Amino acid sequence: MLSIGVLGFIVWAHMGLSASNCVTRAGLPARRLSYMLENTFAKVQSAGNYIKYYTLLCLSKSTLIIFSFFFIIFNLTTFAGLNINFPKVTFGNATYCLPRKAWWMVRGSIGSPETTRLISSTHSLIRTFHDPAAFLLSSTAAYSSYNYPDWFEDWFVGFAEGDGGFYVDLKTKRFYFKIRQKNPQVLYLIRNYFNFGSIFKSEDGYYSFSVQAKDHIFRLLSIFNGKLLLNKTNSQFLNNWFLNYNRWYDNNLLVYKDKPVFTNETFFKNAWLCGFTDADGSLGFKLLSDPSRTASGGKRLRVYWYIDQVDEIQALSLIQNFLFFCRLENKSPYIHQYPGTRTELAYRLMVDSLSGCKILHNYFDNYNPQTTKLRVRWIRWKLILTYLQSRDWKHRLAEIRHLINLNRDL
């Protein structure tokens, strides 16, 4: 504190010189002093002259008054703000002061889907910093970039479970988060919503969204904690990120949350399935041969939805419990699709019934696909589903075949 005071004294003394010059130009009695100081400054040629200069400057009556004024005002407003003006929020047995911006966000979110997420992340920010000033700066910065809709975090978690990865460099103690995509449009969407991260193109033509900054990693930690459904992503998140973050930075203050608990009602009021479908699923339609259907030229129309996973039978079975109209079947993956994996562990969760697709239609109407590929498929899928419900598809076979060929090019 003493060193800060000395440094501040010198800085404000220098500002006092500028003020003295302004007063001199106004014709007030400080003319002689300002002229003396200006001549002294012009003759500065060594470190000793610097000391003499600042000594004379600090003895100036106007400089002392100006410095004392700003010093007192600064300290009064700072300590009053830290201890009195900020609203207080209680978490458990502890009470904390919040910046007014964060307080209004907490109070305004009561009763909304964001309440639990905002309070839990605020609590984590408070526990991370023991210095009140550091907490105020960090929390204000974190919430100032909050500009995405309610559904986005759940969609992002589902999308990351399919195409994202949690990485760590043990030597440098750095964390990394990456999502790879062939089309970068969705990556720019994610970066714009988060207001952090970088996007770059690899030699193989794929684009990556990457996050490395410590405060941004902490933001992702608070988002993913307790929301990951798959075993592989939970294991990677816990072992690579969570345990190491506690060990290196947070002294085991962060509490790990297990998988989310869904009900039949909450599962369809959550964008996680949409994000997961964007990453590892698809929507489509096909014409099947059926000689018994002479009225439709020996064809049968099927609309479908599916997601594919390897060695995640537990998670797929859980999703099947909520999507009671779907079926779980073995899938023979392409070699390039799942390199180095056991094909007998590959499964597909499939819906191809008209009643099931109607339910999914309502779900995706509320939570639209965000990747370009699935969004285009979704628009065509809705159109064909309308034809199927109106029984008009029999007269539109050429159009349906054309759309099937277009989907193959996506």
| Beta strands at 88-91 and 164-169: parallel, antiparallel or unpaired | unpaired
pLDDT for the residue numbered 13: 54
Average pLDDT rounded to a whole number, residues 149-156: 95
Is pTM beyond 0.75? Reply is no
Average pLDDT rounded to a whole number, residues 117-133: 38
Flag whether pLDDT at 228 surpasses 60: yes
| Beta strands at 198-201 and 281-289: parallel, antiparallel or unpaired | unpaired
- Give the burial string for 258-279 (b: 16+ CB within 10 Å, else e): ebeebeeeebbebbbbbbbbbb
Q: Of 104 and 75, which is predicted with more confidence? A: 75
Rounded CA separation 335/320 (Å) = 26
Cα diameter, the chain: 111
Rounded CA separation 303/331 (Å) = 19
pLDDT for the residue numbered 373: 94
Average pLDDT rounded to a whole number, residues 151-159: 96
* pLDDT tens sequence across 4-30: 766 665 655 555 544 444 443 344 444
* Structure tokens given for 285: 């339609």
